[in-house]
Amino acid sequence: MSLSLDALRLAAAQSPTNLPLLMLLADACLADMQVDEARQTLERVLALEPRHALARVGLARVAVLEGKTSEAVVRLEKVLEDESDCGEAMVQLSRLLVTEEGEGTRARQLYQKALELDRSLADEALERDLNQLPPDKYPTNAEAGGKRGGVTAGGDFMESWEDEDHAPRGGAAFDLGLSDFERPKLKFSDVGGMEDLKEMIRMKILYPMQHSELFKAYGKKMGGGVLLYGPPGCGKTLISKATAGEIQANFIALGLHQILDMWIGNSEKRMHEVFELARKNAPCVLFFDEVDALAADRRDLRQSAGRNLINQFLAEMDGAEGDNEGVLVLGATNAPWHIDPAFRRPGRFDRALFVPPPDAEARAAIATVMARGKPMAGFDPVALAKKTPDFSGADLKGVFDLATETVLEEAMKTGKLVPLTTKLLQQAATRHKPTTKAWFESAKNYAMYSNQAGFYDEVLQYLGLLKKGN
């Protein structure tokens, strides 16, 4: 791999305007995780040919590697807006959507369309993931006219969206991700490790919700905003769902795509409706997953629509549009540095919780969960945890997938069931690069050079660059 990468570098240096060659180089860089070089190469292509679809898809892949999933989605959707038959963009987008709950149908459709255009885009791993999706519980937005409703752990106001003019306009369907968070069964006990964070969530979210009367007695209002941030794949979405399962209050969740839909629909009105729904159902947690999709500075991508939507969101959080007592806004992001500082002012997301990568104990707990229901022979999760420093929960899932592929191959050859072993998993771990390191590289820069009001102190503590209690 690195030999051909070097060869491509040389060749590209010789003919710096050879687009196909630059694209080959970019591909090789991506395959080798040379993210910066990939980006630079793709930008060179775009400087020469600004509408180059595959280079734009490449930049989306760069964004994925940097943990900026929401940015990647927006980029890919934009490519498809301009070039509706770009199969590569469809496959990449499908890959991102397949892990987003509630987006299974769209992921499937995109992949099928891509294959119709070009059989050579077939992707076994993606196909497997698509096949593992549960059958669609709900019709797609387009089929249902978009009438999907709100979600609560205890309420049933789903129907309230079926009436009047709540139906979304056009294709930019709006929904609150019913399939995402419908009566979350997940509890804290289903989340491996993260004990400190669980306790913090109990202190900052669950107890105040449970004892709102007590809060009032002391003249304190319940509500406000809490931001969960950290490297991708480390359980932010998972712990939020589990919070919904733990909590007695109502819980409304907006995933990435509901947020992006608002951008596309330019819908400040929808934003207001979501907050109103939360206010009517207080005490209530209003969860925005990948909130950077909303708060990010994306002037390059969605110029005019953006400012209004952001201003609306801020006004809602400030309570300018209605009384927010009993509404707790929870946000999650991989890219806190892309969040407009205006979002962190008092009364908005003024509390931040860092979700670190799992430690060895947590990795063992996660591995134990993942081994459930698989043919295993004498599995030692602690031994696997030892060999997987810096691995996120999602990375561990990758290790299980890799090892499973190996034994499946073996099983196909012999026709016998081959169990997974600790050793096979450890071997698979050597073939998987942990994804959290790249995140910390970026985070470190922001934490060192723009640590306003100690926002990143927890990151610095984690990196050992700041003592606790500072």
Ligand X SMILES: Nc1ncnc2c1ncn2[C@@H]1O[C@H](COP(=O)(O)OP(=O)(O)O)[C@@H](O)[C@H]1O
Give the one residue of 184, 192, 223, 224 binding ligand X; rule: CB under 6 A.
Answer: 192
Least distance between ligand X and beta carbon 394 (Å): 4
Q: Which does 63 bind (CB under 5 to 8 A by kind): ligand X, Mg ion, none?
A: none
Place of tokens 């987003």: 100
284 DSSP β-pair partners: 250, 327
CA angle at residue 297 from 395 to 228, to 5 degrees? Answer: 45
Least distance between Mg ion and beta carbon 404 (Å): 23
Place of tokens 């892949």: 61
Give the one residue of 236, 257, 279, 338 binding ligand X; rule: CB under 6 A.
Answer: 236
Nearest residue to ligand X, by Cβ distance, number only: 393
Q: List contacts with Mg ion (CB under 5 A).
A: 236-237
Q: Which does 283 bind (CB under 5 to 8 A by kind): Mg ion, ligand X, none?
A: none
233: contact with ligand X by CB under 6 A: yes
Toward Mg ion, which CB reaches closer, 237 or 258?
237
Toward ligand X, which CB reaches closer, 306 or 389?
389
Give the one residue of 328, 366, 399, 443 binding ligand X; rule: CB under 6 A.
Answer: 366
Q: Which does 331 bind (CB under 5 to 8 A by kind): Mg ion, ligand X, none?
A: none
336: contact with ligand X by CB under 6 A: no
Lookup: tokens for 343: 């979002």
DSSP notation for 74-96: HHHHHHHHH-TT-HHHHHHHHHH
Least distance between ligand X and beta carbon 368 (Å): 9
DSSP letter at 296?
Answer: B
Contact 252/278 with Cβ under 8 angstroms?
yes
Tell me whether residue 171 is exposed, middle or buried, using C-beta atoms within 10 angstroms of its C-beta: 0 to 12, 13 to 18, 19 or more.
Answer: exposed
Task: Please give the Cα distance from 343 to 350 (Å, whole number).
Answer: 8
Q: Which listed range, 27-35, 169-177, 180-188, 390-398, lies at the site for ligand X (CB under 6 A)?
A: 390-398
432: contact with ligand X by CB under 6 A: no
233 DSSP β-pair partners: none
What kind and span of H or E run contains 376? strand 376-377
104: contact with ligand X by CB under 6 A: no
177: contact with ligand X by CB under 6 A: no
Toward Mg ion, which CB reaches closer, 236 or 279?
236
358: contact with ligand X by CB under 6 A: yes
Least distance between ligand X and beta carbon 92 (Å): 18
Least distance between Mg ion and beta carbon 236 (Å): 5
Site string for ligand X, 393-412 (x = CB under 6 A): xx--x---------------
Task: Please give the Cα distance from 286 to 424 (Å, whole number).
Answer: 42
Toward ligand X, which CB reaches closer, 265 or 356?
356
Q: Which listed range, 112-120, 190-198, 336-344, 460-468, lies at the site for ligand X (CB under 6 A)?
A: 190-198
Count of residues of this chain found to bind ligand X when the rule CB under 6 A is applied: 19
Strand pairing of 284-288 and 351-354?
unpaired
237: contact with ligand X by CB under 6 A: yes
Q: How many helices and strands in the chain, by DSSP H and E?
A: 24, 7
Place of tokens 């953006």: 306
Toward Mg ion, which CB reaches closer, 236 or 338?
236
Least distance between ligand X and beta carbon 255 (Å): 11
232: contact with ligand X by CB under 6 A: yes
What kind and span of H or E run contains 414? helix 393-414
242: contact with ligand X by CB under 6 A: no
Listed in sequence order, the residues at least 6 apart from 328 whose beta carbon sits closer than 8 Å to its beta carbon are 205, 208, 209, 222, 223, 224, 225, 226, 283, 284, 285, 286
DSSP notation for 343-360: GGSTTSS-EEEE-PPP-H
Q: Which does 243 bind (CB under 5 to 8 A by kind): ligand X, Mg ion, none?
A: none
235: contact with ligand X by CB under 6 A: yes
Listed in sequence order, the residues at least 6 apart from 105 whose beta carbon sits closer than 8 Å to its beta carbon are 136, 140
Phi, psi of 219 (to 5 degrees): 70, 20
For residue 204, give Cα distances in angstroms to 65, 345, 444: 32, 18, 26
Tell me whether residue 140 is exposed, middle or buried, using C-beta atoms within 10 angstroms of its C-beta: 0 to 12, 13 to 18, 19 or more.
Answer: middle
Toward Mg ion, which CB reaches closer, 55 or 76?
76
Give the one residue of 23, 72, 234, 443 binding ligand X; rule: CB under 6 A.
Answer: 234
Give the footprint of ligand X on this chain (CB under 6 A): 191-194, 232-238, 334, 358, 362, 366, 369, 393-394, 397
